[in-house]
Structure formats: C-alpha cells, structure tokens
Homo-oligomer: A and B are copies of this chain.
C-alpha cells in the first residue's frame, strides 16, 4: 500500500518512491496512475477500467498471493480514506498461511497538503470528516459534524460535494453558522499541488458559493482561526 502524496512527483516520500520502483505490479485508480507515469512504465498494471475498488483490490491481493511484489497506490495517504483498510480486510479474510505480507507506506494526506497550501489552519485539535454517504448514513455524518462544530474543532472535509450530492455541504454551513461567527475563515482548495490547483480563503457564510467538487478539500477554522494576507492561521496558544 503506497501513498503517493498530493500527486506531484516530489510530494512523495523517498520510501514510497523506492517501493514503486521495486514493485512488479501496480494497482490503482486511473487518475492516480496518471499522476506517476514514470513509476508505472513497463510494469503490469491493474487499472480501474471497468473494475470497482473492491474488484481492483481483490485482483491486487490475488497477484500478491501468487508471489508478485504489488504496489496498490492511493493518492495522499492510503490510511486516510484510501485503500489500506479495504486491502487489509481482504487479506485478513484469508487463511493465515495464504496471507501476503502487507506493508503500508504512508503519504502526505490531502488534509496535510491542503493545510500547507492555506498556511497553518490545523495548529489545534481537528476533525476529519467525509461527506460521502455512499457507505455511511447521513445521520452519522451529521452527528459528527455537529459534535465537531460544538466542541470547536477545526474541521477538514473530504469529498464535500459531487455532481449528484450537493446538499451535505450546505447543511454543514448551516450547522456551523449556529455556533461559529459568519466571518470564520474557511479554506477551499481544489487539486492541491497540481498544475490546476485552485485555492481560496473565504468565510463561513459564503464558502459554499465557491467551486466545490470531489477534488476539493474544505477546512473550516475554529473560534480562534484568522486570516492574514494569503494565510489562514489557527493559533496554537503561544504568547507573542
């Protein structure tokens, strides 16, 4: 399991690069494979094609069982809404003697890349929540949003919106406005660290007017977060 970070070549760890070089087979979502063409050249590829995540990971585990060195890649960190859990779930279902050796090589997650691009919004306790209700009931997601807002966490939102799923992020805004100032800084970052990166620091009352899609991560500041120039900063509490 290899995390390739935000997707530009130098955002990957040295360890991740080495693992990719040693791999005989590479599996991943085509968008991620396209980010590292030099690292997959000449290798057997288990791409997405018509395959869904579960089928792709099953195919990867099968190749590893047959002795191949397989790299399953995730953008960001495979352990944060990536493929690490799914692959491990498949592996631990196998009889122990048949389980391939699994190593998880973490990468810089979107939450870290996006925070770095915005300044320092995560300098205090934070919560990471996905808006995708494909596998999680909205009631659970909403409860988490409410809890995180009420306890003054900085909040990072993954998968904020898709073509078909547009209401969740509006609901987050509504809940947040009940407890935080309308001027609370919100960072909206799309395609972080890629050539087409779009970044804006805006405010809680207006952030959903910005372009938000599946390639976007949103960070909502806590009660102390402020904007200064191009930076969104959550103070840690030092006396300066």
Which residues of A are interface residues toward B (Cβ below 8 A)? 3, 5, 9-15, 17-18, 53-54, 77-82, 84-86, 88-90, 92-93, 96, 99, 102, 104-109, 112-113, 115-117, 119-130, 134-136, 140-141, 143-144, 146-148, 150-153, 228-229, 231, 233-240
Contact = CB atoms under 8 A, between A and B. Distances in A.
A175 to B, nearest CB: 12
Nearest to A14: B10
A151 B3 CA distance: 28
B96 A229 contact: yes
- Copies of this protein in the assembly total 2
Which of A88, A136, A143 has the most C-beta atoms of chain B within 10 angstroms of its own C-beta? A88
12 contacts: A3-B112, A10-B14, A85-B233, A86-B238, A88-B233, A104-B117, A108-B112, A125-B129, A134-B237, A144-B153, A147-B147, A147-B151
Given A88-B119, A151-B144, A135 B237 contact: yes
Contacts of A3: 108, 112
Given A92-B231, A93-B240, A120-B104, A128 B130 contact: no
A165 to B, nearest CB: 16
Contacts of A126: 127-128
Nearest to A79: B115
Given A79-B112, A82-B123, A86-B238, 12 more contacts: A3-B112, A78-B116, A79-B115, A86-B236, A88-B231, A102-B231, A109-B109, A112-B112, A124-B136, A125-B129, A134-B237, A143-B152
Nearest to A103: B116
A116 B104 contact: yes
A9 B15 CA distance: 9
Nearest to A77: B112
Contacts of A135: 236-238
Contacts of A86: 236, 238
Nearest to A90: B240
**Which 3 A-B residue pairings sit nearest by Cβ, starting from the closest?**
A135-B237, A85-B123, A147-B151
